[in-house]
């Protein structure tokens, strides 16, 4: 039975027995290779190691994976036990090998990890894909330690199938307040002046300090122990896919990847082992029909933390940024972005 909540607590914690209607929307894939049509926009209940070989090859534009970190942790009725480093490396090699055939030659993959597993993930990812970058994002929550630094960071590795891939730079601009406005001939230099304050839309880097971990008063929050925020997933999805593309998550959890894909007009499918989490994923997908908001993403840009009042005041106004979604092609000349940032061709990676 789901625990009772206070009026402001929006956490989704529907039990399997209460959420039968949602569980019945999930599908299973057994015994034969399935077509894309049969799995598109579906939650697949099953083990990703068993399911992936049965999924359609070369059908996915973007993979977002948040595998278990190498920690002993319970996920409802399933427990992931900490492994020796060599065993975790082999575990990583197995699931990456299982998902690789699904990704198109023009596709991208992002893999979440903590600091302890980051080097393993990066190394094994490079065996299958062209590694492009490592994103580090700042956690605003975390337990302190008596004899160590509090862990306040996590990593996301970015890789591609080839040198031909999608990257929409202008779709992931960050809006920041201008503390010390600079003017040239009396006019704002690389920032915009408005009634609601002074802002600058800037290029995203590989360090993200604007992510809020879902908590009890956020509508997207579930009782999943390692849920990623919709804002974090939206950054990845807007950068590395286009509307109508297919996004796949082999460790779906409570469904954040699928929910964000639906809100951003992408197709999706994902695999989840726990029926409880499948219920929450389908419940969130149903709620997304009526509410497509992604907290922290307003007016076509991503906002800093603790800027909710400014976001609300800007909702519905004309965008400061142009909102162009440019396809980044490796080898093109440097593109100048009219906010003072120059964008060099630093895609990197190797076959």
pLDDT, tens digit, for every residue of 149-197?
Answer: 888 999 999 999 999 999 999 999 888 776 656 565 655 556 565 666 6
CATH, residue 145: 3.40.50.150
Q: Give the chain's domain count.
A: 2
- CB atoms inside a 10 Å sphere around CB 90: 13
Query: Is the pTM for the entire model greater than 0.85?
Result: no
Arithmetic mean of pLDDT, 248-267: 96
Q: Read off the tokens for 173.
A: 């601009």
Rg (CA), the chain: 21
State the maximum Cα–Cα separation within the chain, in Å, rounded to a whole number.
70
Q: What string of DSSP letters covers 304-345? A: PTT-HHHHHHHTTSPPSS----PPP-TTPPPEEPTTS-EE--
Q: Residue 268's domain spans which residues?
A: 1-166+207-289
Q: Say if residue 93 is in the same domain as residue 190.
A: no
Tens digits of residue pLDDT in 299-323: 888 887 765 555 555 554 544 443 4
User: What is the pLDDT at residue 172?
Assistant: 95
Q: Which 8-state DSSP code applies to residue 262?
A: H
Tens digits of residue pLDDT in 117-156: 999 999 999 999 999 999 999 987 767 778 998 889 999 9
Arithmetic mean of pLDDT, 282-292: 92
Domain end (from 271, 289, 307) = 289
Distance between CA atoms of 351 and 349, rounded to whole angstroms? 7
Smallest CA-to-CA distance from 23 within 285, 281, 284, 279 is with: 279
Domain end (from 289, 310, 338) = 289
Q: Say if residue 34 is in the same domain as residue 172.
A: no
Q: Say if residue 55 is in the same domain as residue 109.
A: yes
Is the pLDDT higher at 243 or at 142? 243
Arithmetic mean of pLDDT, 80-105: 95
Q: Say if residue 176 is in the same domain as residue 113.
A: no
For residue 88, the surrounding DSSP H or E stretch is helix 85-99
SS3 content of the chain, % helix, strand, coil (to 5): 25, 25, 50
Domain end (from 289, 321, 338) = 289
User: What is the pLDDT at residue 261?
Assistant: 98
pLDDT confidence band for 333 (50 / 70 / 90): very low
Q: Read off the tokens for 277.
A: 């989490």
Query: To the nearest whole number, what is the mean pLDDT of the chain?
Result: 82
Smallest CA-to-CA distance from 304 within 141, 161, 173, 119 is with: 173
Q: Read off the tokens for 280.
A: 């929450």
Beta strands in 263-316 (DSSP E): 267-272, 297-298, 301-303
pLDDT confidence band for 66 (50 / 70 / 90): very high
Q: Say if residue 78 is in the same domain as residue 115.
A: yes
């Amino acid at each position: 039975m789901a625990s009772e909540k206070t009026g402001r607590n929006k956490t989704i914690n529907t039990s399997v027995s209460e959420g039968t209607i949602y569980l019945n929307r999930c599908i299973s894939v057994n015994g034969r290779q399935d077509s894309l049509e049969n799995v598109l926009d579906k939650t697949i209940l099953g083990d990703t190691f068993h399911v992936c070989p049965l999924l359609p090859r070369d059908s996915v534009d973007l993979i977002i994976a948040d595998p278990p970190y190498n920690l002993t942790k319970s996920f409802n009725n399933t427990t992931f036990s900490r492994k020796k480093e060599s065993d975790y490396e082999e575990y990583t090699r197995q699931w990456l090998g299982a998902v690789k055939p699904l990704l198109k030659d023009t596709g991208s993959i992002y893999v979440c990890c903590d600091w302890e597993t980051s080097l393993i993930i990066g190394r094994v990812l490079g065996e299958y894909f062209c590694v492009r970058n490592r994103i580090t994002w700042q956690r605003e929550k975390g337990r302190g330690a008596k004899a160590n630094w509090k862990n306040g960071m996590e990593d996301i590795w970015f890789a591609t199938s080839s040198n031909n891939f999608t990257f929409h730079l202008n779709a992931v601009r960050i809006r920041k307040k201008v503390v010390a406005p600079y003017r040239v001939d009396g006019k704002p230099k690389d920032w915009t002046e408005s009634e609601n304050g002074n802002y600058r839309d800037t290029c995203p880097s590989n360090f993200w300090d604007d992510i809020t971990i879902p908590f009890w008063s956020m509508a997207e929050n579930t009782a999943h122990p390692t849920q990623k925020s919709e804002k974090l997933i939206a950054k990845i999805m807007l950068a590395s896919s286009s509307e109508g593309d297919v996004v796949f998550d082999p460790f779906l959890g409570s469904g954040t990847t699928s929910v964000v894909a639906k809100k951003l007009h992408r197709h999706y499918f994902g695999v989840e082992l726990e029926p409880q989490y499948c219920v929450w994923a389908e419940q969130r997908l149903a709620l997304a029909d009526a509410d497509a908001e992604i907290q922290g993403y307003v007016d076509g840009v991503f906002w800093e933390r603790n800027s909710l009042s400014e976001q609300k005041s800007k909702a519905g106004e004309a965008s400061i940024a142009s909102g162009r979604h440019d396809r980044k092609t490796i080898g093109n000349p440097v593109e100048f972005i009219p906010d003072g940032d120059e964008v060099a061709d630093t895609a990197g990676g190797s076959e």
